[in-house]
Amino acid sequence: MTRAHEPVRAASALRRAAIAIATLAWMASATAAAVDVTPPLRVVGDGIPAPLGTTAGDAARGWALIIARASANCVLCHAVPDHAVRFAGNVGPPLAGVGTRFTTAQLRLRVADSLRINPDSVMPSYYKVSGLDRVAEPYTGKPILTAAEVEDVVAWLGTLR
């Protein structure tokens, strides 16, 4: 082979490497989607006493998640005690006073795995990923909210006294 063929061979080798990397990445993502990525929930009685993540929840971030239409979207079903929220649902119970009615552990379970409390609920389990029915394709094997986001929502709900 002449030196003129070296760039062609190098490009071919790079192309093969890129295809191999893309294939491995695709296989890894397909495998990850089928694996439960959340640790098991440690339920005690009717709550989850220990935080799900390593960071404390932040009520301001929790409020942002509560009203965000793209993530938690709690206001789709629940009324919130804030007149600035113009459109809120009435399918679920109003959230006013929820911090008085439930402990932090009880709130955490209701957000992380509401179906454990009420198997007939239409509220999604925001953190649990296994054993669920009718899961939208983008959420298969993935939680709707991260552990930190669950803690943020729980922190905000705890302020509703």
Q: What is the pLDDT of residues 105-159, one digit of tens each?
A: 999 999 999 999 999 988 989 999 888 888 888 888 889 999 999 999 999 999 9
Predicted pLDDT at 126: 93
67 and 30 share a domain?
Answer: no
Torsion over CA of 159, 104, 53 and 113, rounded to 10 degrees? Answer: -110
Tally of CB atoms within 10 A around 126: 21
CB 22 within 8 Å of CB 14: no
71 and 116 share a domain?
Answer: yes
- CA–CA separation, 54 vs 151, rounded Å? 10
79 and 7 share a domain?
Answer: no
Amino acid at 14: L
State the total domains in the chain.
Answer: 2
Q: Is residue 39 part of a domain?
A: no
Residues paired with 44 in a beta bridge = 47
Predicted pLDDT at 77: 93
CB 160 within 8 Å of CB 96: yes
Domain that includes residue 27, residue range: 3-34
Q: What does DSSP assign to residue 44?
A: B
Of all helices (H) and strands (E), which one includes residue 33? helix 6-34
Query: Average pLDDT, stretch 51-63?
Result: 94
Tally of CB atoms within 10 A around 51: 18
Predicted pLDDT at 84: 86
24 and 67 share a domain?
Answer: no
12 and 66 share a domain?
Answer: no
Taking the model in full, what pTM does it have?
0.74
Tally of CB atoms within 10 A around 38: 18
| Residue 43 token pair | 């339920």
